[in-house]
Structure 1
Amino acid sequence: METYAFKTGDAVGELLKNSQRDWNAAVNHRFVQELFEGTMDNQVLIKYLIQDYHFFDAFLSMLGACVAHADTLEAKLRFAKQLGFLEADEDGYFQKAFKELGVTEKEYLGVTLHPVTKEFQKLMYSAVDSSEYAQLLVMLVIAEGLYLDWGSKELPLPDRYVHLEWIHLHRGEFFKEWVQFLVDELNRVCKDKATISALQERWNHAVALELAFFEIGYEC
């Protein structure tokens, strides 16, 4: 584990132990290597970004649910702040990337969702429907923590915007602080082994889907 946010012995560290193989496979996936090298085929990136764009709605729903169900005012305000960041920065990246890659609005909005994307959406919305803060945090810790892990690799950076900016969005002090907040919150609400055990299935499922999602662009 490369990011400082995860520590052996705490709740998140215990959850991670049972998915370490899939987590490491995702962090070191061919997709990540080609992204840093700037050698990724445009069609691979297009397939990935179009599918990833359709996570945006579910991801925003999870953040909104955390504003509703977090058990402290401080946490509610932090989630609200992140919602503003996503509107300004991440959505902006998608629009610029699609333009650079020649993807029309009709293409990225009207695409048929991949089975992995559908399953991931279902898992995210099930966390929203649960109204349980811990279930929501599991999804967010994985979605953001795994990306921080690969985004923080100490490798030469690519020159092209579509590669470089996707890396920049998932590294740096602001993103590290955000992930650390999520990890600290999940550790705080997981006060016993029974709670950790109850979250393990969702955690493992989400990590496996993160790995499968990187494969989408390489399918014929």
Structure 2
Amino acid sequence: MTYLQQLIDKNREEYNRATRHPLTNELCSGTLSDSKLYVYLTQDLNFFNYSLNLLGKVLALCDDPTASVRLAKQIGFLAEDENDYFADTLKELETRDLSSVAKMRKESIVLPEVTQYIEYLKYLINESSSYSELITFCFVMEKVYLGWVEYNQDINNIAKSLPEKFQTWIDLHSGDHFVEWVQFLNNEVERCLKLNAAKDSSTEIYESTFVKSLKLESNFFEACYLYKE
């Protein structure tokens, strides 16, 4: 069993909370309301705007040429495919009845849990110089997204003929490309563990980053789902 799988098992309750949340379950079944989807995407867009900078920092710290190329390719993918999804879907949602989130739309509200998450991203981007810390965070972030898709696939909860606003988001976080990306991040964390074992046997940075990142993801989903004006 890999070290990361041990961490998932050790934190199974929190992992399940993040990957089996009503928000993503309803997204997969096609029952998530437009207002909840709007809240989720506008809040997630805050993370997206930092994610490119974060991956740039990871790329700058990477010591392996092959891994550097893979990271660079992912930055390009995010800048094109995922960026287009946000723009297209939010434009579509603006034509729907979003009166229940009128204040958020008008004032561009950022939820406290999202602000807390962003502060952590700022720390990683501006202060951390640990590739191990950064790559572990990236793994957790992406593993959670693959996890909620796989959970809904396993319970046959992904509806057929979903609108693009749902299906495209699912597609972006599943399939061979995304599975390979998450496996790459997994392998990079495990590679760092082996490299650092000779210098320092401590795994504290990996576990603390894993647990903190996982809780931030769980709290993010919960805050978006329960938001009311």
User: Scaled by the length of structure 1, what TM-score is found?
Assistant: 0.88
CA apart distance, 1:79 = 0.7
2:209 is the alignment partner of 1:209: no
Pairs within 5 Å for 1:30-109: 30-102=22-94
In the alignment, what sits opposite 1:180?
Answer: 183
Q: For 1:82 and 1:204, locate their aligned partners in 2 and report how far apart those are by CA, in whole Å.
A: 24
* Distance in 2 between residues matched to 1:108 and 1:11, nearest whole Å: 42
Tell me the distance in 1 between the aligned counterparts of 2:121 and 2:72. 18
What is residue 159 of structure 2 aligned with on the other side? 157
- The structure 1 residue matched to 2:142, chosen from 138, 141, 144, is 144
Which has more radius of gyration? Answer: 2
8 Å CA contact retained: 1:46, 1:217: no
Gaps of 5+ in 2: 96-103
> For 2:205, what is the secondary structure of its paired residue?
helix
Distance 1:189 1:125 in 2: 23
| In 1: Cα distance, 2:65 partner to 2:191 partner | 15
Q: Which amino acid letter does the alignment assign opposite residue 54 of structure 2?
A: M
Give yes or no for the alignment of 1:171 onto 2:163.
no
Instruction: Work out whether residues 140 and 210 of structure 2, in 8 Å CA contact, stay in contact via their aligned partners in 1.
Output: yes
Equivalent positions of 1:107-118 (< 5 A) are 111-118=108-115
Aligned to 2:116: 119
How many residue pairs are counted as aligned between the two chains?
A: 210
Post-superposition Cα deviations, 1:161-217, rounded to whole Å, max 9, x if no partner, equal 111111111000000001100000001101348442232122111111111111223
Letter in 2 for 1:157: A
Q: TM-score, normalised by structure 2?
A: 0.85
Which ranges in structure 1 are unaligned for 5 or more consecutive residues? Answer: 1-8
